């Protein structure tokens, strides 16, 4: 059982969670020491701001809220806004981002890391104050022999300080001022001295000034920094100024300008006000730079999460290589983190450690120690005595990401369905979702949950690349399966599902919710017996960042496979026929921030002679509703505007139906699936699920082959 420090509301709590599981390119690390970053974590401890205060800070949310009310209705918008502006009840915030420990397991064969190896780890949400952490390989570095792991726990802060120094580009013999002598400032002082610079520091705390002098600063003051700089530089001014202070005031930036030499450099590392005095920066022609955390690679999901390193020859100092360099400085004795440690606490006394941040006692480096051998159980029992019956749905949920939390979990909870357990890769999200649903257990081993004899119905709500494997395993275990779209992202995965479905007598359904919308039912009824349909579907999808997992062909499959499948299914459902040919065309944008396939026109031919056109694009105006549908046949027409307003027209009259909220069929799809479990009749025939998936593959082939593709 993993123990993790998290913030719930305004308090700090130590919480037990299931042992996490490393995925490909990840390491499972048992923490030995973690460092509390006093500046960042003190900020997180501040009382949560009210929704009104957040709206004042981000007035653009008001306009988005009005648009959302028009599209989704007041009730749905209120819930969405609550989740945006407030941390949902029961969802904790993991604390910490700088740790050191021992590798327990690797997530892939052939990794450069190995179990038993000592590593330093970085990253919010990864290197947390927990007994075990799953950390991407590019956010881990080996600890050199002889380096104490307590010192190594400073590595993340050290990489931040080192990147700030690199941005300042100091050369041997230059004078550099460091404003703010907290942890980052003290580390920057030592790094600059190791680089052969003269260093002058400034802080309001006399104890930190004294420490900087003891660590090698040539001068350090609580006041009178301009005079100190002038004395070291013969009145010329500092070659560079590094701001490591933490204050909303812009005074540090103004002070930096005042003490800089002509054509000097000013680097912002800490969180400071940025009201830059133009006159002094202009007259001295100062170079103002912002340092991006640990270094190149930060916030790049391809680098951090997918392990795609930058070429060494072109990006010499990535965040991982900065971490390595910092550890090497410790190994050489040029940096001494142990002299920055003012307090050490065992994990069990974490609350005392955080109390220091809010109290008046002097503190700087606060280190948490993780003694003993913790429980490594991957399943945590939360409730005893829950009765599960084979003739009623007993649920197991695999995955609990943002989509699941927003659209699926609340609907399952509203139906009071008994839940055996929730399994996710991260123990914290598994426990939070399990507690929300009143589940008996939480865990990180989805295989164990699927094989649990108490579970007869599995909801698979994971990322797209995991769907095929998990669906096939659940079907082979004799479970009914609801899986969010898509069913699979490649032919191999689809074939695996097809074989499992052929062996299984249980129900399988994909979350194609739109066919279950009351609006879709009304359209089908309107065109009953009207003959082949002509259907035009327009989707104003909005931009999806290139770095997101959704766009990654191996993880998300891209938006044609991952989202256009919704509209392929809807058109096939409306005409009641199977698609036989598919043609895809894209706008040739040639842009790096959006794939051409995100601007798709798809033409589908159906066996009954119906024709469907899907215009799916990412570049539309935000004010334009997302989805629009027209259907025409036999002197009848239907217009559906964003699943809110439906107009049905025939020779005699036009009938209009408007719902208070969007009706995309989420409730109806869940009810249809649960009904299929009881009746044994599929809510969507497997042939439709299989063919819809193959149509999306055919559209990808059509783009590649530059022709239409038959679907057998």
| pLDDT of 427 | 87
Q: Which residues are within 8 A (CB) of 186 and not within 5 positions of it... i.e. 6 or more apart?
A: 208, 211, 212, 215, 340, 364
| pLDDT of 11 | 59
Residues 335 and 482 in one domain: no
Which one, of 139, 113, 121, 164, lies nearest residue 319 by Cα?
A: 139
Residues 11 and 110 in one domain: yes
169 Rama class: left (phi>0) / alpha (psi -120 to 50) / beta: left
| pLDDT of 531 | 82
Cα–Cα distances (Å) from 582 to 482, 619, 698, in that order, read 27, 23, 6
| pLDDT of 544 | 87
Residue 459, token pair as written in the block: 């909801």
CA–CA separation, 681 and 668 (whole Å): 16
Please name every residue paired with 243 in a beta bridge, in sequence order, or none if there are none: 179, 268
Domain count, the chain: 4
Exposure on the CB side of residue 57, measured as CA atoms within 13 A: 7
Range(s) of the domain holding residue 269: 156-291
Confirm whether 641 is domain-assigned.
yes
Confirm whether 59 is domain-assigned.
no
Q: What is the CATH number of the domain that holds 706?
A: 3.30.360.10
183-194 vs 38-45: helix crossing angle, rounded to 10: 160
Cβ atoms of 136 and 304 closer than 8 Å? yes
H helix intervals, 557-604: 559, 565-575
Confirm whether 243 is domain-assigned.
yes
Is 247 strand, coil or helix?
strand
Hey, how many other C-beta atoms are within 10 angstroms of the C-beta on 146?
8
Is 609 strand, coil or helix?
coil
CA–CA separation, 351 and 14 (whole Å): 8
Which one, of 201, 192, 202, 137, lies nearest residue 169 by Cα?
A: 192
Residues 259 and 334 in one domain: no
Residues 275 and 314 in one domain: no
Paired sense of beta strands 287-290 and 260-268, if any: parallel
Q: What is the DSSP letter of 57?
A: H
Residues 687 and 577 in one domain: yes
Residues 188 and 261 in one domain: yes
Which one, of 392, 465, 393, 379, lies nearest residue 422 by Cα?
A: 379
251-259 vs 225-233: helix crossing angle, rounded to 10: 30
Q: Which residues are within 8 A (CB) of 277 and not within 5 positions of it... i.e. 6 or more apart?
A: 253, 254, 257
* Boundary of a domain, candidates 240, 262, 291: 291
H helix intervals, 532-608: 559, 565-575
| pLDDT of 69 | 60
Confirm whether 374 is domain-assigned.
no
- The residue written with tokens 């930190």 in the block is 208
- The residue written with tokens 């779209």 in the block is 485
Residue 401, token pair as written in the block: 């990401």
CA–CA separation, 68 and 64 (whole Å): 6
Cβ atoms of 175 and 232 closer than 8 Å? yes
| pLDDT of 315 | 96
Residues 661 and 550 in one domain: yes
* Boundary of a domain, candidates 239, 257, 291: 291
Confirm whether 81 is domain-assigned.
no
| pLDDT of 90 | 45
Residues 221 and 160 in one domain: yes
Confirm whether 65 is domain-assigned.
no
Cβ atoms of 343 and 363 closer than 8 Å? yes
Cα–Cα distances (Å) from 553 to 71, 549, 623, in that order, read 31, 8, 29
CA–CA separation, 35 and 343 (whole Å): 10
Hey, how many other C-beta atoms are within 10 angstroms of the C-beta on 633?
18
Q: Order the strands of the 508-510 sheet from edge to edge.
A: 379-381, 441-443, 419-423, 395-398, 457-460, 480-483, 508-510
Hey, how many other C-beta atoms are within 10 angstroms of the C-beta on 516?
23
Cα–Cα distances (Å) from 437 to 390, 395, 677, in that order, read 19, 10, 20
Residues 409 and 500 in one domain: yes
Residues 27 and 118 in one domain: yes
Cβ atoms of 127 and 334 closer than 8 Å? no
| pLDDT of 62 | 61
CA angle 540-488-523, nearest 5°?
A: 45
Cβ atoms of 105 and 74 closer than 8 Å? no
491-503 vs 467-476: helix crossing angle, rounded to 10: 10
Confirm whether 58 is domain-assigned.
no
H helix intervals, 197-310: 206-214, 225-233, 251-259, 278-283, 301-304
* Boundary of a domain, candidates 486, 508, 530: 508
Confirm whether 73 is domain-assigned.
no
Given a cut of 70, the residues of the chain with pLDDT beneath it are 1-12, 39, 42-92
Is 274 strand, coil or helix?
coil
CA–CA separation, 710 and 712 (whole Å): 6
Residues 230 and 114 in one domain: no
- The residue written with tokens 């509390």 in the block is 36
Which one, of 501, 459, 564, 516, lies nearest residue 683 by Cα?
A: 516
Kind and range of the H or E element at 640?
strand 636-641
Q: What is the CATH number of the domain that holds 391?
A: 3.40.50.720
Q: What is the CATH number of the domain that holds 107?
A: 3.90.180.10
- The residue written with tokens 């080996």 in the block is 142
Hey, how many other C-beta atoms are within 10 angstroms of the C-beta on 500?
20
Cβ atoms of 122 and 159 closer than 8 Å? yes
Residues 566 and 660 in one domain: yes
């Amino acid at each position: 059982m993993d123990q993790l420090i998290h913030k719930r509301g305004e308090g700090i709590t130590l919480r037990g969670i299931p042992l996490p599981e490393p995925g490909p390119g990840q390491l499972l690390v048992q923490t030995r020491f973690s460092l509390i970053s006093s500046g960042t974590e003190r900020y997180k401890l501040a009382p949560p701001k009210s929704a009104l205060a957040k709206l004042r800070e981000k007035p653009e949310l008001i306009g988005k809220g009005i648009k959302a009310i028009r599209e989704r209705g007041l009730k749905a918008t209120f819930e969405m806004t609550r989740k945006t502006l407030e941390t949902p009840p029961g969802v904790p915030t993991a604390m910490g981002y700088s740790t050191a420990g021992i590798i327990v397991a690797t997530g892939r064969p052939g990794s450069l890391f190995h179990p038993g190896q000592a590593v330093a780890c970085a990253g919010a949400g990864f290197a947390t104050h927990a007994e075990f952490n799953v950390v991407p390989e590019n956010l881990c570095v080996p600890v050199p022999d002889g380096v104490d792991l307590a010192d190594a726990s400073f590595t993340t802060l050290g990489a931040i300080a080192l990147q700030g120094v690199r941005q300042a580009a100091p050369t041997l013999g230059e004078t550099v001022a460091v404003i703010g002598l907290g942890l980052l400032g003290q580390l920057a002082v030592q790094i600059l001295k190791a680089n052969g610079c003269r260093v002058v520091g400034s802080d309001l705390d006399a104890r930190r000034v004294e420490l900087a002098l003891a660590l090698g600063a040539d001068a350090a003051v609580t006041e009178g920094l301009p005079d100190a700089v002038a004395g070291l530089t013969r009145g010329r001014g500092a070659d560079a100024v590094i701001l490591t202070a933490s204050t909303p005031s812009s005074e540090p930036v103004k002070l930096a300008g005042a003490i800089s030499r002509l054509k000097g450099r000013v680097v912002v590392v800490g969180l400071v006000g940025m009201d830059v005095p133009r006159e002094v920066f202009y007259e001295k022609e100062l170079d103002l730079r912002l340092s991006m955390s640990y270094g190149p690679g930060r916030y790049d999901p391809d680098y951090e999460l997918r392990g795609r390193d930058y070429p060494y020859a072109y990006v010499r100092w990535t965040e991982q290589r900065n971490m390595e360099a910092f550890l090497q400085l410790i190994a050489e004795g040029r940096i001494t983190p142990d002299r920055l440690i003012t307090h050490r606490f065992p994990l069990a006394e974490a609350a005392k450690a955080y109390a220091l941040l809010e109290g008046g006692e002097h503190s700087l480096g606060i280190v948490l120690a993780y003694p003993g051998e913790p429980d490594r159980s991957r399943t945590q029992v939360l409730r005893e005595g829950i009765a599960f019956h084979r003739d009623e749905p007993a649920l197991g949920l695999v995955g609990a990401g943002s989509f699941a939390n927003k659209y699926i979990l609340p609907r399952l909870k509203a139906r009071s369905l008994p839940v055996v357990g929730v399994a996710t890769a991260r123990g914290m999200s598994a426990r939070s979702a399990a507690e929300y649903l009143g589940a008996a257990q939480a865990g990180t081993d989805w295989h164990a949950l699927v094989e649990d004899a108490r579970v007869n119905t599995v909801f698979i709500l994971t990322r797209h690349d995991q769907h095929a494997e998990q669906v096939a395993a659940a079907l082979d275990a004799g479970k009914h399966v609801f899986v969010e779209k898509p069913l699979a992202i490649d032919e191999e995965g689809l074939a695996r599902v097809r074989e499992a479905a052929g062996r299984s007598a249980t129900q399988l359904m994909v979350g194609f919710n739109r066919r279950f919308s009351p609006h879709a039912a009304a359209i089908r009824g309107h065109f009953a017996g009207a003959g082949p349909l002509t259907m035009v579907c327009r989707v104003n999808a909005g931009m999806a960042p290139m770095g997101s997992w959704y766009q990654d062909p191996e993880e998300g499959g891209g938006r044609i496979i991952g989202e256009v499948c919704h509209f392929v299914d809807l058109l096939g459902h409306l005409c009641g026929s199977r698609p036989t040919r598919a043609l895809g065309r894209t706008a040739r944008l040639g842009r790096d921030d959006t794939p051409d396939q995100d601007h798709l026109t798809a033409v589908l031919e159906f066996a009954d002679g119906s024709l469907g056109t899907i215009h799916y694009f990412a570049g539309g105006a935000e004010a334009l509703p997302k989805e629009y549908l027209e259907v025409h046949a036999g002197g009848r027409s239907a217009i559906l505007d964003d699943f809110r307003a439906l107009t049905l027209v025939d020779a005699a009259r036009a009938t209009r139906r408007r719902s208070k909220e969007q009706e995309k069929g989420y409730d109806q799809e869940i009810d249809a699936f649960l009904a299929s479990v009881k009746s044994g009749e599929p809510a969507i025939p497997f042939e439709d699920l299989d063919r819809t998936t193959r149509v999306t593959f055919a559209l990808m082939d059509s783009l590649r082959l530059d022709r239409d593709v038959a679907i057998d």
